[in-house]
Structure 1
Amino acid sequence: MCTLKLGRYVTFIFVCFAIIHSIALGSSYDIQPTFGCVISDHTWVQYSTYFFYPVLVGLLPIVIASSSSILAYRNVRHIVRRQLAIVRRKLDKQITAMVLMRVIAFVCLVSSYNAYRIYATNFPPSRSMPMAYAIGRLLQTILLSINNINYMISSYIFIIFSSRFRRQVEIVLVKKCWQRCKYWCCSINNRIESENNIEPCNS
C-alpha cells in the first residue's frame, strides 16, 4: 500500500543509493594526458556501457515515465465511463495530457546524450587529434545542454500544450501576483505622499 511514510523511506533509500553510486563511479575516473578525464578501469567501462547509461540513466527513467503516462491514460478512460463531476474529468484529462507531453520531451532530450556518453566512454577522442577532440567536446557540450533543458522545460511544455494550464497561470500571475505587487507599490506611494504632505510644526 502506497503511503506518505513509505514514500519517504523509498526517497531516502534512493538518495543514499545515488550518493554512494556517484562516489563509487567518480572514483573510477582518471586524468590521462592523452584523453583527459576518462574512466580508466575496464570493469567500470563495461558497467557504464551496458548498465549505467543505457539502463539506469536511459531506459529505466523512460520506462517509469511511460508507465506513469499509460496508467494516467487508463485512469482517464476509466473515469470517463464513471459518473463523476465534469470538473474532475477535465482535471484528469489535463494531467494526462501534461504527463504524455512531458514523457515525449523527456525521451527526446535525454536519449541523444546517453547515446553519446556510451560512445565516448568506449571511444574517447584523443587530444593528439585536435580536430576530432574539439568536435567531440563541442558535440558533448551541445548534447549536454539539450539534456539540461529537460530539467527546466516542464512549465513551458504545460503552457504550450494545455489551454487550461495557461488560464491557470494567467490567473495566478495577473490576478494574484500582479495585483499584490500593484497594491504594494501603491501603498508605498501613498505613504510617501502622505509624509510629504505633513506640514512641519511651528515652534
Structure 2
Amino acid sequence: MQRYYSFACYPIIASLLSMTITLAFSLPAYHNVRRITRLQLLVIRRRLALQMTAMTLARVLVLIVCGLPFICSLLWKLNINTPEDNYLGLTIFSLISSILDSVFYANFAINFYVFLMVSSRFCRQVKNIILKKCWALVKTRRHETPSYIHRNQIFFEPIQPSGSVYELT
C-alpha cells in the first residue's frame, strides 16, 4: 500500500493528473482570449475575456502553489522513516505538515479573494452587491417594527349581538 501511495496515488493521480487536467483546460482558454484580442470585437467584450483568462490562470497558479508542497510533504511522510524516539523531529515534521495541510485546504476557500484581486469587474460586482443590496436590506430591516412586539399583544374582540335573547341564557 505504501508503494502504491508513494509511486501512483500521490505523484500521479493527486498531483500530475489533476494539474494536467487543469492546465489542459486553462491553456485553451488562454489561447481563445489571445485570438479574441486580435478579432474586431467590442472593447468591453475583450476586457471581459481578458479578465476571465486572468482569473483562470490565477486559479491554476494558486492550485499549483498550494498543492505541490502538500503532495511533497505526503511523499516525504511515506518514504522517510524517522525513529519513534526522535520527538523533536516528529514534532517539527508534524508542525510543517499541519501548516501545509492548512495551505492546501485554504486553496479551496481562497478563490473568492483571488478573483477579487485579479478582476476589476468582479470587484465592482461584489461592491455593488454588498453596498447596495445588503445595505438596502439592512435599512429596511431597521425601519420595520420588530416581530416580538406584535406577537404578545392582546386585542379586544367585541361580541356580536345576535337576533335572539334566549341564546345567552
Q: TM-score, normalised by structure 1?
A: 0.68
Cα distance 1:142–1:124, how it changes in 2: closer, same or farther (>3 A)? farther
- Structure 1 residue 152 corresponds to structure 2 residue 132: no
Which of 40, 47, 50 is the equivalent residue of 1:83?
40
Structure having greater relative contact order (Cα 8 Å, sep ≥ 6): 2
Counterpart of 2:56 in structure 1 is: 99
| Cα distance in 1 for residues equivalent to 2:76 and 2:48 | 43
CA distance in 2, matches of 1:153, 1:171: 21
Contact 1:116 1:140 in 2 (8 A): yes
Among candidates 55, 60, 79, match of residue 17 of structure 2: 60
Give the deviation of 1:173 after TM superposition: 1.2
- Contact 1:109–1:147 (CA under 8 A) maintained in structure 2: yes
Letter in structure 2 aligned against 1:164:
R
Q: Secondary structure at the match of 1:150?
A: helix
Are the equivalent residues in 2 in contact too, given 1:113–1:143 (CA < 8 A)? Answer: yes
**Which structure has the greater CA radius of gyration?**
2
Q: Single out whichever of 163-172 and 86-95 deviates more from structure 2.
A: 86-95
Specify every segment of 5 or more residues in structure 1 that has no aligned partner in the other structure, as ranges. 1-43
Q: What RMSD in Å do the two structures reach over aligned CA positions? A: 2.3
Deviation at 1:54, TM superposition (A): 1.0
Question: How many aligned positions are there?
Answer: 153
- 2:164 maps to none
Partner secondary structure for residue 133 of structure 1: helix
User: Is 1:116 paired with 2:73?
Assistant: yes
Identity across aligned pairs (percent)?
A: 33
Who is 1:178 aligned against?
135
2:5 to 17, 34, 48: 48
CA distance in 2, matches of 1:149, 1:161: 18
Once the two structures are superposed, residues 152-196 of structure 1 have per-residue CA deviations (whole angstroms, 9 ceiling, x without a partner) of: 10000111122121111101111112212222222236xx6xx8x
Task: Give the unaligned 5+ runs of structure 2.
Answer: 157-169
CA deviation digits over 1:10-42, x for unaligned, max 9? xxxxxxxxxxxxxxxxxxxxxxxxxxxxxxxxx
- Tell me the TM-score normalised to structure 2 length: 0.80
Letter in 1 for 2:55: M
Please say if residues 66 and 103 of structure 1, whose CA atoms lie closer than 8 Å, have aligned partners that are also in contact: yes
Contact 1:125 1:136 in 2 (8 A): no
